[in-house]
Structure 1
Amino acid sequence: MKIKQLFFGLAISLNIAAYAQESKKEVLFTIDNKPYYTDEFTRVYNKNLDLVKDESQKDINHYLDLFIAYKLKINKANKLSLQNNPQYQAELASYRTQLSKDYVTDTKVTKELIEEGYNRSLKEIKAAHILILVDENAAPADTLKAFKEISDLRKRAVNGEKFEDLAVKHSQDPSAKDNKGELGYFSAFRMVYPFESAAYKTKKEGISQPVRTRFGYHIIKVEDIRDNRGEVTVSHIMIMKPANNPTTTAEKAKSTIDDIYQKLNQGEKFEDLARQFSEDRSSAPEGGLLSRFGSGQLSSEEFEQVAFGLTVPNSYSKPFESQFGWHIVKLIEKHPVKTLEEAEKDLENKVRKDDRSRLITNSLNETLRKKYKVVTNPGLYAKISKAITDSFYGDEWKMPGDPAEYAKPLVTIQDKQINGTVFVAFLKNEQIAKSTLKPLSKLIGQLYDKFVDQQLNIYYNENLENEYPEFNAVMEEYRDGLLLFELMEKEIWEKAKTDTIGLANFYKEHAANYQWKMREDVIIASSTDEAVIKKARKLLKQNKTAEFIKKELDATDKVNVMINSGVFEEGNHALPKNLKPKTGVSDVVKEGEYYFVAKINKILPAGPKTLEETRGKVINDYQQFLEENWVGDLKKEATIQVERPVFERVKQTMQAKK
């Protein structure tokens, strides 16, 4: 984007905290009776002060001229209707969406959840659980039944019955029959949020109160709490256990892994042995390399224990057995727990994808319901509710009658009215979820609340410019910057590139500005070894090429000499400072740690550059020339009135703050 190249130096700043409003807002100047105010002028001046390189632009009087010229251009862009360009509108909308992300969420709650998640991630919990299944939208009677059942199991566990026996007999988690409810070690973001919270709030060897998740009711026994071990990257060699586990085949697997271990001790490479013998087909081609993992991420606790037990990179374990087979593990790298600052971005992404995100959404929705007045049309709501039948549960419902019947305000948020047809369309989309919540009236009420929250968020987003002056200021700057880019592209940049006659005439009139200094067509050899450069000098005298010299003087494993060739202007950093401008091979000269020798083939005298040799510079200067004349024309077309007393007060205030 060329916005950064504009003379005005417009900086689109996302640092909202840096925004500061003037305590008093006055008209600074008008263009065709349209007012422009002191607060915008001082804000933009201060924000761009450190960015401009031209000291003249820091002069407040000169900056006022630049600012007026800037606003003249924006007015011109609007007169040309460039703001209606679909590409412009799409880019502006995309930017607004990005900028609004910091406003359409509850940042306080988000930050608290990030810190909570990080603090929890410093510990790992070993736990077991018992689950009694119950649907999220189950009838109250079914929910109560499940709650009583899990409460009874908790009482029995607290009174001394073995938790694992209760899990095997009563838990409705399908895996409980095999694992006795054991979950192994886990940390934050590994379990659904309510379950995680209950586990972290339960003391070691304690049993949690019943906790409801989307699966049902749980009780959790916390067996151990330890510091998070971070993550680890390892490679492994695995010999699988035979499916039917006959003794002779099992002994063969154990013998094979022992032989591999012996080969490792004899000095053979781990990666080569993994490729040849490992029966883990996914990792064997990569020399046994596994993706990095943390506690609780693998299905084998034995494997994790051995992997985390290794301490020295490239060391490997003795053969050990897991439920999958025999392994040897090699440590590649240990990854310690990150600091909060290092992990914050990743944690924020996890929070937004996790059940925790509901807390953020609910917090913002609650704030908006208090902030804005919401009025429902009870008659239209009742009419729509009556038209919804049980076919809604099967995703087969269609609104009966004429859609025009519902094209009336259903809900009003502040001064914005939303028609019933919008709610009807919302309901049609919600059918896809196939909610089981009953009775139907309760489901409709729940969906209407969700609809209102959605509309509140839309209304809030649409009014960010009114709610937050800093947001409005940044959007105005970006909006104007995009318009200015479109305008300059149309009126100046393209013209300067395509107006070949105008460009040629400009070049002729300003030819004195485009001059070569004296130039040298030269081959330069450099080295830190004086003996090497002396050899290079001898070869240059023999008219040997740069390629020949490199081949002759460089060793197989060492670069002894560097060659640089081309046409260089006087003063170019590539030319040794002590090099005399004389054709032929120079003497050896030294600068710093380097020795140089040069062969000057030709000396080109100072003189004018052709248009082709300096086209880029001429186009740039021609653009600036066109712009200056264009701005003069814009000033003639408009009536500009500067409020001088106001400007003097503003200037005094700004100078006092320097």
Structure 2
Amino acid sequence: MKINKLILGFALAINAIAFAQSEKKEVLFTIDDKPYYTDEFTRVYNKNIDLVKDESQKDLNQYLDLFIGYKLKINKANKLGLQNNTKYINELKSYRTQLSKNYTSDTKVTKALIEEGYNRSLKEIRASHILINVDENAAPADTLKAYHQALDIRKKALAGESFESLAVKFSQDPSAKENKGDLGYFSAFRMVYPFETAAYKTKKGDISMPVRTRFGYHLIKVVDSRENRGEVTVAHIMILKPTVTTDSPEDKQKPKSIIQDIYTKLKQGENFESLANQFSQDKNSAPRGGLLPRFASGQLSSEEFENVAFNLTTPGSYSEPFESQFGWHIVKLIEKHPIKKLEEMERELDAKIRKDDRSRLITNSLTSKLRKKYTIKRNEKLYASIKALVTDKYYEAQWASPKDINAYNDVLFKIENKEVRGSEFLGELEIQQKANLKIKPISKLVDFIYEGFVDTQLNTYYNDNLENEFPEFSNVIEEYRDGLLLFDLMEKEIWNKAKQDTLGLGNYFRANQAKYQWKNRAEVLIASSTKEDVVNKARKLLKKDKTAEAIKEELNTKEVVNIMTKQEMVEEGTENFPKNVVMKEGVSEVYKDGEFYFVNKVIKVLPAGPKTIDEVRGRVINDYQQYLEDNWVSDLNKEFKVSINQDVFERVKSAMKK
């Protein structure tokens, strides 16, 4: 699917940057009498100008044409009703929720939590635990009973009883019977926050006091502490597993056989990078000698690969062949790196905090500020009448609000211009009844629920009004809204049409056949080795029309891989075109390139000529999409009435050039 520069320029370059306007806001142009203003045009131009590589688009006259074309498409999308699409509404809502997090956080609290998380991430803790279950909303008596039970177990451990035996006997964590409470090594953000805090604050060999989490009370014994292993840079050679499911034992064993041959060549002293370049099937890393970007624990899709990489200790050393879910690998250690600096991890840590129990600390801090920002005056008479309705049946989840709630539909309190009615609080009381809260007496429970209800309403109001509070937030949301609409419109009007209009696609292909031509091609078998005499033998076998498998069988042994082969179709003038290949059937002379000797056999030559549409369908569809779009913008100019205030535009240009 093709996304053109307009979408990238106007919709996806989302940064909360407000452009200060020196000139007053004026109508720059209208589309069917709908006004578009100078401030939006100058803001978008200045924000995106560095992203535009086409110099013509930096010209203000050209940019105005692009901007109008963009707004024409948005008008078309709205005319078609794409803004009412459920998928569009949900995606916009999801993006707004994500972006709003930057405005609904207490930065001071967040910064402190980021620093704490970073400092903890420098260490990995190994701990065991014993869990005594107690519900988060349990009655005080049940909570106290669980706490004392945990205390009694701790006393037994401190008196010398084995923590592991106590875990097996008393822990209500189902896994304790098998692991004796051992949780292995973990770092920050791997456990619930209260548990993590206790683990990091408990000394090695000590047992914590009972720690309350949503699961119950824990006793934590810290067994060990070690440095975080940081990041590592490696290179690898990979042979992929078959992409097609096969029952053939030979096909299943082939990748393993190839990687073993390569491993044998490594042990014979051949160069890792050269072998990776020739034989690794990781197309991204093979041209760089198998080199991968540096990574930390948990960043790759294969734990097996990470463990092998981190277990290598000496730069330049390499592993034995091993299997991952993707295929077979040999890994070479290039360099080990210490853990990232705090400033490099801030965004990552911030994202983790928002998904963690720590986020409650941030929410509570913001709520406290909102309580000061907005004055809440409660209708005491209405509140008292609602409170009188709630009886002790609430504890058994048998309470119900009145069937006729009109008497309670007056305003209970206001947040600025938002009215919150008593009937809404009654609804909240019914919802919270399911939480099985045990606060007594019932009047205190109602007060507790009311305070939480007010907090929720405050946060909701604040979030709903971010566009009014922060102009830059409003601008970004508007850009994203337009970008989503434009994407859906392009998919409907251009991309899908280009794929489905087989007749139009065929006509376009035939009219532009000259753009889709093959150069001379050849099917080539290439044999290589670090030993010249072996390649000479291979050349003789090639001249006898021996197959690649037959050559390997004759020149290789179980212990030594002397020759490697590959057969492929190559096109003259392309990047992967082998050296010393002549576009003529036959066997080449032996030649050397780097540390390797090569011989080529050109099996078949295909002359230059036109490609079929099936051979270039993807490229033709892209070209046809662009052709349709270019003509479509002209049609939109006819469908909508565009009127430019030329005097206003001239003033904008003068102001922007200063």
Alignment TM-score, normalising by the size of structure 1: 0.64
**Where do residues 547-626 of structure 1 align in structure 2 (5 Å cutoff)?**
547-556=549-558, 557-558=560-561, 560-566=563-569, 568-626=570-628
Kindly tell me the number of residue pairs found equivalent between the two proteins.
Answer: 506
- Give the match's secondary structure for 1:484: helix
Q: Assess if the C-alpha contact under 8 Å between 2:104 and 2:463 holds in 1.
A: yes
Question: Corresponding residue for 1:67?
Answer: 67
Please give the alpha-carbon distance, in whole angstroms, between the structure 1 residues aligned to 2:582 and 2:195: 80
Please give the alpha-carbon distance, in whole angstroms, between the structure 1 residues aligned to 2:361 and 2:54: 50
Q: Report the CA distance between 1:41 and its aligned residue.
A: 3.7
Please give the alpha-carbon distance, in whole angstroms, between the structure 2 residues aligned to 1:76 and 1:397: 53
Per mean C-alpha deviation after superposition, the further-off stretch among 74-83 and 411-420 is: 411-420
Q: Assess if the C-alpha contact under 8 Å between 1:137 and 1:438 holds in 2.
A: no
Equivalent of 2:156 in 153, 178, 181: 178
Q: Assess if the C-alpha contact under 8 Å between 2:527 and 2:563 holds in 1.
A: no
Equivalent of 2:369 in 367, 378, 390: 367
Identity over aligned pairs, percent: 55
Q: Are the structure 2 counterparts of residues 49 and 580 from structure 1 closer, same or farther at C-alpha, using a change threshold of 3 Å?
A: farther
Equivalent of 1:627 in 629, 641, 650: 629
- Give the match's secondary structure for 2:434: helix
Q: Report the CA distance between 1:610 and its aligned residue.
A: 2.4
Q: Are the structure 2 counterparts of residues 469 and 527 from structure 1 closer, same or farther at C-alpha, using a change threshold of 3 Å?
A: farther
Q: Assess if the C-alpha contact under 8 Å between 1:10 and 1:481 holds in 2.
A: no
Q: Assess if the C-alpha contact under 8 Å between 1:579 and 1:589 holds in 2.
A: no
Q: Report the CA distance between 1:475 and its aligned residue.
A: 2.0
Please give the alpha-carbon distance, in whole angstroms, between the structure 2 residues aligned to 1:626 and 1:121: 53
Superposed CA offset, 1:279-305 (max 9, x none): xxxxxxxxxxxxx9xxxxxxxxxxxxx
Q: Are the structure 2 counterparts of residues 345 and 641 from structure 1 closer, same or farther at C-alpha, using a change threshold of 3 Å?
A: closer
**Where do residues 148-547 of structure 1 align in structure 2 (5 Å cutoff)?**
173-175=151-153, 177-178=155-156, 230=227, 340=342, 357-547=359-549
Please give the alpha-carbon distance, in whole angstroms, between the structure 2 residues aligned to 1:411 and 1:115: 39
Q: Report the CA distance between 1:229 and its aligned residue.
A: 5.2
Q: Assess if the C-alpha contact under 8 Å between 2:535 and 2:563 holds in 1.
A: no
- Give the match's secondary structure for 1:174: helix
Q: Are the structure 2 counterparts of residues 88 and 570 from structure 1 closer, same or farther at C-alpha, using a change threshold of 3 Å?
A: same
Q: Report the CA distance between 1:399 and its aligned residue.
A: 1.4
Q: Does 2:110 match 1:110?
A: yes
Please give the alpha-carbon distance, in whole angstroms, between the structure 2 residues aligned to 1:466 and 1:106: 19
Q: Assess if the C-alpha contact under 8 Å between 1:519 and 1:606 holds in 2.
A: yes
Please give the alpha-carbon distance, in whole angstroms, between the structure 2 residues aligned to 1:585 and 1:214: 74
Q: Does 2:94 match 1:94?
A: yes
Q: Are the structure 2 counterparts of residues 61 and 171 from structure 1 closer, same or farther at C-alpha, using a change threshold of 3 Å?
A: same
Question: Corresponding residue for 2:8?
Answer: 9
Please give the alpha-carbon distance, in whole angstroms, between the structure 2 residues aligned to 1:399 and 1:39: 52
Q: Report the CA distance between 1:400 and its aligned residue.
A: 2.8
- Give the match's secondary structure for 1:410: strand
Please give the alpha-carbon distance, in whole angstroms, between the structure 2 residues aligned to 1:599 and 1:52: 48
Q: Report the CA distance between 1:458 and its aligned residue.
A: 1.1
Please give the alpha-carbon distance, in whole angstroms, between the structure 1 residues aligned to 2:86 and 2:525: 54
AA matched with 2:454: V
AA matched with 2:30: T
Unaligned runs of 5+ in 1: 125-134, 147-169, 203-210, 216-224, 233-291, 293-312, 314-334
Q: Are the structure 2 counterparts of residues 56 and 176 from structure 1 closer, same or farther at C-alpha, using a change threshold of 3 Å?
A: same
- Give the match's secondary structure for 1:524: strand
Superposed CA offset, 1:231-259 (max 9, x none): 79xxxxxxxxxxxxxxxxxxxxxxxxxxx
Superposed CA offset, 1:318-369 (max 9, x none): xxxxxxxxxxxxxxxxx99986568767876886688755442221112112
Q: Are the structure 2 counterparts of residues 182 and 616 from structure 1 closer, same or farther at C-alpha, using a change threshold of 3 Å?
A: same
Q: Are the structure 2 counterparts of residues 365 and 558 from structure 1 closer, same or farther at C-alpha, using a change threshold of 3 Å?
A: same
Q: Are the structure 2 counterparts of residues 579 and 173 from structure 1 closer, same or farther at C-alpha, using a change threshold of 3 Å?
A: closer
Q: Are the structure 2 counterparts of residues 433 and 471 from structure 1 closer, same or farther at C-alpha, using a change threshold of 3 Å?
A: same
Please give the alpha-carbon distance, in whole angstroms, between the structure 2 residues aligned to 1:626 and 1:15: 28
Please give the alpha-carbon distance, in whole angstroms, between the structure 1 residues aligned to 2:196 and 2:494: 63
Please give the alpha-carbon distance, in whole angstroms, between the structure 2 residues aligned to 1:602 and 1:385: 90
Q: Assess if the C-alpha contact under 8 Å between 2:188 and 2:196 holds in 1.
A: no
Q: Report the CA distance between 1:11 and its aligned residue.
A: 7.1
Superposed CA offset, 1:588-632 (max 9, x none): 344455544333344333332222222222211111111111110
Please give the alpha-carbon distance, in whole angstroms, between the structure 1 residues aligned to 2:118 and 2:213: 24
The structure with the largest alpha-carbon Rg is 1
Q: Assess if the C-alpha contact under 8 Å between 1:193 and 1:354 holds in 2.
A: no
Q: Are the structure 2 counterparts of residues 120 and 408 from structure 1 closer, same or farther at C-alpha, using a change threshold of 3 Å?
A: same
Q: Report the CA distance between 1:195 and its aligned residue.
A: 13
Please give the alpha-carbon distance, in whole angstroms, between the structure 1 residues aligned to 2:652 and 2:38: 7
Unaligned runs of 5+ in 2: 126-135, 164-185, 203-209, 215-221, 230-296, 298-312, 314-336
Q: Report the CA distance between 1:42 and its aligned residue.
A: 4.4
Please give the alpha-carbon distance, in whole angstroms, between the structure 2 residues aligned to 1:449 and 1:469: 31
Please give the alpha-carbon distance, in whole angstroms, between the structure 1 residues aligned to 2:213 and 2:545: 84
Please give the alpha-carbon distance, in whole angstroms, between the structure 1 residues aligned to 2:634 and 2:345: 54
Please give the alpha-carbon distance, in whole angstroms, between the structure 2 residues aligned to 1:645 and 1:355: 57
Q: Assess if the C-alpha contact under 8 Å between 1:118 and 1:340 holds in 2.
A: yes
- Give the match's secondary structure for 1:599: strand
Q: Report the CA distance between 1:465 and its aligned residue.
A: 2.2
Q: Are the structure 2 counterparts of residues 434 and 504 from structure 1 closer, same or farther at C-alpha, using a change threshold of 3 Å?
A: closer
Q: Are the structure 2 counterparts of residues 445 and 591 from structure 1 closer, same or farther at C-alpha, using a change threshold of 3 Å?
A: same
Please give the alpha-carbon distance, in whole angstroms, between the structure 2 residues aligned to 1:195 and 1:605: 68
Question: Corresponding residue for 1:271?
Answer: none
Superposed CA offset, 1:475-510 (max 9, x none): 222222221121111111111111121112112222
Q: Report the CA distance between 1:382 and its aligned residue.
A: 2.3
Q: Assess if the C-alpha contact under 8 Å between 1:121 and 1:228 holds in 2.
A: no
Q: Are the structure 2 counterparts of residues 348 and 636 from structure 1 closer, same or farther at C-alpha, using a change threshold of 3 Å?
A: closer
AA matched with 1:573: E
Please give the alpha-carbon distance, in whole angstroms, between the structure 2 residues aligned to 1:57 and 1:491: 24
Q: Report the CA distance between 1:532 and its aligned residue.
A: 3.5
Per mean C-alpha deviation after superposition, the further-off stretch among 412-421 and 530-539 is: 530-539
Please give the alpha-carbon distance, in whole angstroms, between the structure 2 residues aligned to 1:610 and 1:121: 57
AA matched with 1:173: L
Q: Report the CA distance between 1:453 and its aligned residue.
A: 0.7
Superposed CA offset, 1:379-432 (max 9, x none): 322221121223223332211341232233322221222222221111112223
Please give the alpha-carbon distance, in whole angstroms, between the structure 1 residues aligned to 2:504 and 2:339: 64
Q: Assess if the C-alpha contact under 8 Å between 1:410 and 1:420 holds in 2.
A: yes
Please give the alpha-carbon distance, in whole angstroms, between the structure 1 residues aligned to 2:628 and 2:197: 66
AA matched with 1:467: E
Q: Assess if the C-alpha contact under 8 Å between 1:29 and 1:35 holds in 2.
A: yes
AA matched with 1:89: I
Q: Are the structure 2 counterparts of residues 652 and 389 from structure 1 closer, same or farther at C-alpha, using a change threshold of 3 Å?
A: same
AA matched with 2:505: L
Please give the alpha-carbon distance, in whole angstroms, between the structure 1 residues aligned to 2:506 and 2:416: 62
Q: Report the CA distance between 1:551 and its aligned residue.
A: 3.4
AA matched with 2:8: G
